[in-house]
Chain A
Amino acid sequence: MSHPLRIAVVGHTNTGKTSLMRTLLRDTEFGEVSDRPAVTREVEGAPLLAQGRVAAELYDTPGLEDSIALLDHLEKLRGDRRTEGVDVIDQFLKSPAAEGHFSQEAKALRQVLQSDVALYVIDARDRVLGKHRDELTVLAMCARPVVPVLNFTAPGNVMGAGVAGWREQLARCGLHAVAEFDTVVLADQGEQRLFETMRTLLPGHRQAIDALIEDRQQQRDRLITAASNAIADLLLDASAYCVSVPHGDTAQMREATDNLKSLVRGREQQCVEQLLELFRFHRDEYTADDLPLTDGQWGLDLFSPAALKQFGIRAGGGAAAGAVAGLAVDAMVGGLALGTATAAGAAIGALLGTGRTHGRRLLDRLKGRTELRCDDATIRLLEARQVALTRALLRRGHAAQQPVEVKQDSSLRRSRLPEAIQQARLTPSWSRLGESVALSGLAEAARERAQSSLAETIQQSIKQSGTGQ
């Protein structure tokens, strides 16, 4: 194979050609996307990489706008009935009309002729019209395989011909290998199916396409792993963190409470930023309003009861009477509070591992100091929000222009917090919030282990809820 697979993205104006480019390239910077006609005026190409190598080249083209007149023109050029379609197109591209009224169409067709396959992007919300049929006729004259790609197929877009109507129409034009690919709301396997559809039409480029499919799969797995690691890190930091204040000193208590809240909020935001960076999204995609994530969905403060409700998490559990919302106040004297029955075993292990810190904690308790930390509900909420965000990001096309929205998902409710979190509860030194000290190698290894086991749990819940929809 002398050159990489060349793919031309064509279609009527404003059907989302550039959006498709952006999503396939994972590049929100590519071209200009707008809900207006003829935004792309020049052919622009970019390589699709698999394992760092160029597996294919994608070319964005100006929209076909006047296919009806173009077809008229081509039929006039043809004159003799026996001239082949490709020759007519060639003749057209050399004619002055290709520089004038049909310059956009000419650019697109020229690119199709130089490509191995054309992706014909369709806005499934449009009705099937004569101009679309004419576009397909013109494309058919180019003698290149054409893969129709139905855009905007997400449920909720119920208008126009819809997927079924378009498929029927395409079948009538002899196009049966059709891909559905919503560039805004990504289906789980949408991209893979698109590549597979192309593969059936391009046996000669099987290797390159396989490499692409595999690369994308790996990329997705890597993303999920990295995201769950980041979330696990956040959860460990938040659940391990605790401050101790003199018992009964309300002023100090309030100060410590505010401090803890702002630390945890900041840490959550840090995790959000990590995730967005991982998924290559811009910061301004969620700071459209002055909220952490937009549309009121994330505007809810981490420590507000409404935020818990949003994810269907019931408060209570660890929260002692009179505790501040979202914080567990552990004022038990004598250190016995460590041993909620379930954690007794872990407590002993933790005591052995980090004797020094525990010694101080026990001493603090004996001196009548109060310990303050995030309660279980808050930890759950943190997890739920980050998992939901990850899922939203996984499903988000790079063409989406609306801010990320997060939907509630009750499947995240779990009856018990994972082991690693319970362990973190007993090991304040694990937390990197506030003025933390570097862990010893041994403690670091233990934290690392807890993090990876927690990450595994989170990974499962991301994947489960990802497919469970």
Chain B
Amino acid sequence: MRGMDDGRDQRTTPGHVAQQGDLFEARMLAEAIRALERDGAEAIHDESAELAARAITGDLESRIIERAARLPVAAQLRAALRQINTVTGWVIVGAGILALFAGAGTAFAALGRGVGGEGVVVNFYVAIGAVLGVQTLMLAAWFVLVVASSMRQRPTEGLLSLGRAAVAAAQWLTSRIQRGRITRAAVHAWSYIHATGLIGRWTFSSITHGLWLSFNIGCLGAIMLLLSTRHYQFVWETTILEDRHYVRLTHGLSYLPSFVGFDSPDDEQIARSRWTGRTGTLDDESRRAWSSLLVGSIVLYGFAPRILLFGWSLSRRRTAANRFALDTRLPGYARLESRLFDTPTRCETSDDVGGPSNPAAFAISAGHPSGTPRIRPAGPPAMVGIEIARPAVWPPRTPHVVWDDLGVVESRDDRRSVLAAIGESATEPAVVLMVCDLATTPDRGIGRFIAEIVARLARPAAVILTGGQSLRSRGMDTAGVASRVADWIRLCIEAGVAQDRIIELDLDHITAAGLQRIASLAGENSRTPEQVRHIEEAFELIRTHAKRWFDQGAAPTTDAQAELHRAIATLYQSSSESWRESLGFRHVQNLIEGNNIGRLTEQMRSGATRMTELLPMRLRKSPKWLAAGALSGALGCVAASLLISPVAIAALPAWAGIAAAVAAIWQPIGHEKKAPNTAGDNVAAAVRAAVLFAMVLELQGHAEADITRILDATIPDHEQAIRDATEVKNWLDSLRHRFNIAVAETLQ
């Protein structure tokens, strides 16, 4: 059974493995490793084996083989595979001995053992049939099956044979002798390879033919023994056939044996051999002729085909073993590809010239001769946009300050003309306010431009960072935005702008407070609107409403929620102009009076979008908070319009239409379409929306990024359950606490 092939495989594998042993065994080992890994439901990771496999040149398969050979478990598996081979070998030897005896037994049975002075009468054709009949049938069956399975392209399926039985017995025996996952994997690999590949067919075939060969040898031996020691009278008999049939049959049978020199009876001898009921009618010559034909037939029709097929099967088996390749598409192998090939190494780079790793200092171009700018009288403040998308209102309309518009700089020529305008006019702008876009990546080019402007000024310059909103809508998370802002601030400081004169402010969503801050950069020191704290009152309102809803035990209706929003909005009436503007509620007043539900819905939708945009990325991903943002935006819009045209909520025309619109706005936003189930869920949703509304109104006048930051810090990841009024109170208390801390930390 050993010595499956010693032929060197011609195809690949220059690695060590090929020299160590034979390639088929190496592949079998790899297969066993795969079986082991699959069985253990866990891949083996062995650095040194993978390293060795990466080191060789060759395709994936040869690397898999190399890795398998180098794994620590390989030795055990090799031993197990050897054991299978040994056991299989012994089983086959045993079966061969049995076949030998079976052959001899068949011969004894065919020739009979009677003792008689006149010799034993043996029906020649019955004897031939007994010895050759079964095996010829089996041969034919084998042939048909091999042809059939080749045609169906399915290697060994359905090929039930002696060989397969012997192998099955050997496997059964192996797994009885030794248990454990190593043996199991080895048996598995062995049977898998033999069941799926061509190798199996030829292994089983060679065993089958070998066993029959042994059978024939036993048979021939016994027959020779019997013919030498016994006296037989070969006869034939018939009931319906004529003599000439037997003559022809005998000649047909002897056709091949006579070629190799076996005698055969002639016509007359055949005729005389017909059984007449009397013994001793045959002369010695006829006996010898018949004996010779008997032996010749067995040799040529039994022994010869089997030995030829045995040899052929063995050689085919060797070819199959050589050709056997691992199916690298199997998941167990394919997954190794990334591990067994080097990730591409780095190329040598031509660029070894050092240079400063951080060319931070901005080289100011020679356009400006002297080191210090000359002192000029102050002119009007100037504003310049640097590579920004021009906002809807440019320059922003700040109270009491009129800006000298230097335009938006995009190209080299723009830069030149701006530098000329700043540096060469008779007056120097009271302040140069540079507006940069946070959505742009800060680069040295911009830094140098800012530095050149600063170098032309004797008075301090200022920078506004706008466009935080569009940055967020690119899907950048809070940390990303923060690091982008920090990068810009660093760049501006390096360019010579004082840190306290760099502010983040979205010009597209500017509030009154924001305009005030811009004006203050121009030296206009009008007081900032007084911040009034109403958050406690707002939360108290929410608490009492929630309690009422819980007491009623029914889900809060949309108008009840709108009523709560209106109550909150009333608290912040003094700053209403500012928040209405920044939340996009500018034109709401006429909509309700005009009963213009369509337009109102549109406004509500934009309010909902605006409010959700204020949420940090983390909360926008939470369906609950996304829905809360949308709901509070929509209801806030209604509240804002009611603030201006004080209509009783219940008296609102077409309230049903508004409710439907609200539902339509926030439902598709959530991931889960299903509405909240319990009254508790409904109250919780209403409370979330109201809390969000209250916090956003409280934070009016602050930069949008700050609002988002505070919301992020206030709302925890995992909220506690809200099932009754007490829990609402607890939740609100903890939220208010966090809110105060976040405000204090963020706004200092």
User: Among A111, A130, A270, which residue has its beta carbon within 8 angstroms of that of B411?
Assistant: A130
Which residues of chain B (408-446) have a CB below 8 Å from chain A? 410-415, 439-445
Q: How many contacts between A and B, using CB within 8 angstroms?
A: 216
Q: B35 to chain A: which residues have CB within 8 Å? A: 438
Measured CB to CB, the nearest residue on chain B to A71 is: B412
Contact A440 B365, beta carbon cutoff 8 Å: no
Q: A59 to chain B: which residues have CB within 8 Å? A: 347, 349
Please measure, in the bound complex, the distance between the C-alpha atom of A218 and the C-alpha atom of B746, giving whole angstroms.
54
In the complex with contacts A129-B387, A445-B157, A226-B335 CB distance below 8 A: yes
The distance from the CB of A336 to the nearest CB of chain B, in whole angstroms, is 29
Please measure, in the bound complex, the distance between the C-alpha atom of A102 and the C-alpha atom of B444, giving whole angstroms.
10
Q: B20 to chain A: which residues have CB within 8 Å? A: none
User: Among B191, B358, B412, which residue has its beta carbon within 8 angstroms of that of A444?
Assistant: B191
Partner-contacting stretch, out of A36-44, A206-214, A360-368, A373-381:
A36-44
Measured CB to CB, the nearest residue on chain B to A114 is: B350
The distance from the CB of A133 to the nearest CB of chain B, in whole angstroms, is 7
Contact A226 B191, beta carbon cutoff 8 Å: no
In the complex with contacts A66-B448, A125-B474, A127-B389, A439-B188 CB distance below 8 A: yes
Contact A130 B410, beta carbon cutoff 8 Å: yes
Chain A 202-241 near chain B by CB (<8 Å), digits 1 or 0: 0000000000000000000011011101100100000000
Contact A46 B346, beta carbon cutoff 8 Å: yes
Contact A438 B187, beta carbon cutoff 8 Å: yes
Contact A444 B330, beta carbon cutoff 8 Å: no
In the complex with contacts A130-B410, A277-B338, A159-B474 CB distance below 8 A: yes
User: Among B200, B338, B358, B443, which residue has its beta carbon within 8 angstroms of that of A441?
Assistant: B200
The distance from the CB of B164 to the nearest CB of chain A, in whole angstroms, is 8
Contact A229 B331, beta carbon cutoff 8 Å: yes
A391 within 8 A of B: no
User: Among B343, B414, B473, B483, which residue has its beta carbon within 8 angstroms of that of A36?
Assistant: B483
Contact A130 B441, beta carbon cutoff 8 Å: no
B284 within 8 A of A: no
A106 within 8 A of B: yes
B9 within 8 A of A: no
Which residues of chain A (397-455) have a CB below 8 Å from chain B? 432, 436-442, 444-446, 448-449
Partner-contacting stretch, out of A47-55, A81-89, A318-326:
A47-55
The distance from the CB of A89 to the nearest CB of chain B, in whole angstroms, is 14
The distance from the CB of A241 to the nearest CB of chain B, in whole angstroms, is 13
Measured CB to CB, the nearest residue on chain A to B347 is: A45
Please measure, in the bound complex, the distance between the C-alpha atom of A440 and the C-alpha atom of B671, giving whole angstroms.
49
Please measure, in the bound complex, the distance between the C-alpha atom of A448 and the C-alpha atom of B331, giving whole angstroms.
12
A182 within 8 A of B: no
Contact B442 A37, beta carbon cutoff 8 Å: yes
Q: B410 to chain A: which residues have CB within 8 Å? A: 129-130
B480 within 8 A of A: yes
Q: A36 to chain B: which residues have CB within 8 Å? A: 441, 483-484, 487
Contact B355 A438, beta carbon cutoff 8 Å: no
The distance from the CB of A462 to the nearest CB of chain B, in whole angstroms, is 14
Contact A103 B350, beta carbon cutoff 8 Å: no
Contact A130 B412, beta carbon cutoff 8 Å: yes
B533 within 8 A of A: no
B595 within 8 A of A: no
A25 within 8 A of B: yes
Please measure, in the bound complex, the distance between the C-alpha atom of A103 and the C-alpha atom of B337, giving whole angstroms.
40
Measured CB to CB, the nearest residue on chain B to A15 is: B441
In the complex with contacts A42-B349, A111-B351, A445-B157, A439-B191 CB distance below 8 A: yes
In the complex with contacts A42-B349, A270-B41, A131-B192 CB distance below 8 A: no
17 contacts between A and B (CB under 8 A): A36-B483, A41-B358, A44-B349, A52-B341, A65-B443, A72-B412, A99-B353, A134-B412, A159-B470, A159-B473, A225-B334, A266-B41, A278-B338, A438-B184, A440-B171, A442-B195, A445-B155
List the 10 closest A-B pairs by CB distance, nearest first.
Answer: A130-B411, A45-B347, A226-B334, A441-B195, A103-B355, A441-B191, A230-B331, A14-B441, A65-B443, A445-B195
Given contacts A69-B445, A127-B387, A445-B157, list 10 more A-B pairs with CB under 8 A. Answer: A35-B476, A52-B341, A103-B356, A131-B445, A159-B439, A230-B331, A277-B339, A278-B337, A438-B185, A448-B195
